[in-house]
Amino acid sequence: MATKTTQEDFYEAVEAASVAPLWRQFNGEQPTEPSPLPPFMWRWSSISPLTERAAREVPMEDVERRVLSLKNPHRGVAGPGTTKNLVGAIQTLLPGETAEAHRHSGNALRFVLEGHGAETIVDGKTCLMEERDLILTPLLSWHAHRHTASEKIVWFDALDIPLFRHMNASFYEEGPPPNLPPQSPDAAFLQGGLTPVDGNARPPYSPLFRYPWAAVLQALSDMPAADDGSRTLRYTNPATGGPAMTLIDCFVLALAKDRDTIPYRTTSDALCVVADGEGESQIGEHSFTWQRNDIFTLPNWSWISHKAVSGDAKLFLVTDRDAIDRLGMLREETRA
Ligand code: GTQ
Ligand code: FE2
């Protein structure tokens, strides 16, 4: 039997003591490229029939929320999220149905894909859900959904629960909610530069819970285009100018037909919902064509460029960008 060298003996002793020599670990750190989590797309043509079946085959009595989560197959053992910190999902409600009130420590939002006329009740404020409206249900707000219109409604949910789980800081509580203090209605926050001082503690999220799509279209038409013809709007907290919620930062990107956007990469991740139109995106080595209601991921540190093939293309982006920025981890580059 060959005798161990002193060196082998040293490394075995190191390992047995649960320590690791830094000089044998990966060095010259930079984000892995291509991204260890490649982009992934859920096409509306495959998701839509599943919402039909869920509505027919899964009674609300059996489930708390009729939700199909977007489980990124590339995440594997990392967990059930859609990106590292965000999970997307598709929720369906039929006329006459209610999803009862609950609350949890993760922030959530809703973006209506199909149908209209449902309501989300957020800490007592009733938010109408029309097509393409954004509804916030921020962390620890009590929220219920109910639907009274005549057709089924389907919306996109996004939550930051993977990050809460990673931190082992995820809590959940069932309703009914306690009596809540009256809140200023959204309309009270819609006069530019004026914010009600209403005695409520100002939580770290937007006092507006509904961002109607009509307002987005108006704001887009009021703003100039960037050099590549695109227009970007951010959904902000009107009281601070910051992100709408602490860990979820949302944008709308309107694209100019037949023009590639300037490629960029960022250490934040995004979920992208096709709000309108048709186009294609180059994401690292991957290219995707897309149409209305398709949903795909924009992974961290991949070069990204979009191009509309129709005149009205708009992408709704859900990101962890502001959270990454406040952690001092945001780095972004554009390719001239
Ligand atoms: O509608 O309250 O997709 O609590 C996941 C968790 C939706 C909701 C989801 C939730 C909800
Ligand atoms: Fe919820």
136-158: pLDDT as tens digits: 999 999 999 999 999 999 999 99
* Side chain identity at residue 238, one-letter code: P
d(CA 194, CA 207): 13
Give the predicted TM-score (pTM) of the model: 0.95
The verdict on the CB of residue 136 being under 6 Å from ligand 1 is no
Interval between CA 88 and ligand 2 midpoint (Å): 13
Selected from 3.40.1190.20, 1.10.10.1110, 3.30.70.330, 2.60.120.10, the CATH number assigned to the domain covering 37-177+209-330 reads: 2.60.120.10
Answer whether 135's CB lies under 8 Å from 127's CB.
yes
Q: Is residue 194 pLDDT above 70, yes or no? A: yes
Q: What is the pLDDT of residue 199?
A: 79
Could you tell me the pLDDT band of residue 75, with boundaries at 50, 70 and 90?
A: confident
Question: Which residue's CA is the nearest one to ligand 1's atom 8?
Answer: 65
Question: Percent of the chain, pLDDT > 70?
Answer: 98
Nearest in space to 210 (alpha carbons), one of 120, 136, 155:
136
Nearest in space to 316 (alpha carbons), one of 242, 254, 261:
254
Question: Which residue's CA is the nearest one to ligand 1's atom 2?
Answer: 143
Q: How far is CA 324 from CA 84, 148, 214, 249, in A?
A: 12, 39, 30, 10
Q: Is residue 16 pLDDT above 70, yes or no? A: yes
Q: What is the pLDDT of residue 59?
A: 97
Q: What is the pLDDT of residue 192?
A: 86
From the CA of 120, give the closest atom in ligand 1: 1
Interval between CA 103 and ligand 2 midpoint (Å): 6
The verdict on the CB of residue 93 being under 6 Å from ligand 1 is no
d(CA 208, CA 217): 18
Q: What is the pLDDT of residue 1?
A: 63
Give per-residue pLDDT as tens, 210-260: 999 999 999 999 999 999 999 999 999 999 999 999 999 999 999 999 999
**Calculated CA dihedral for residues 20, 24, 29, 31, nearest 10 degrees:** -80
Q: Of the bound ligands, which one is closest to the alpha carbon of residue 65?
A: 1
Q: What is the pLDDT of residue 322?
A: 98
Instruction: State the average pLDDT for the chain.
Output: 95
- pLDDT, mean of residues 189-209: 89
Interval between CA 141 and ligand 2 midpoint (Å): 9
- pLDDT, mean of residues 98-123: 97
From the CA of 137, give the closest atom in ligand 1: 2
Could you tell me the pLDDT band of residue 28, with boundaries at 50, 70 and 90?
A: low
Interval between CA 203 and ligand 1 midpoint (Å): 21
The verdict on the CB of residue 89 being under 6 Å from ligand 1 is yes
From the CA of 110, give the closest atom in ligand 1: 1
Is the model more confident about 164 or about 29?
A: 164
Bridge-partner residues for 98, per DSSP? Answer: 146
E-state strands within 212-299: 231-235, 249-254, 264-266, 270-276, 279-283, 286-290, 295-298
Q: Of the bound ligands, which one is closest to the alpha carbon of residue 154?
A: 1
The verdict on the CB of residue 103 being under 6 Å from ligand 1 is no
Q: What is the pLDDT of residue 204?
A: 92
- pLDDT, mean of residues 184-202: 88
Q: Of the bound ligands, which one is closest to the alpha carbon of residue 120?
A: 1
Question: Which residue's CA is the nearest one to ligand 1's atom 10?
Answer: 65
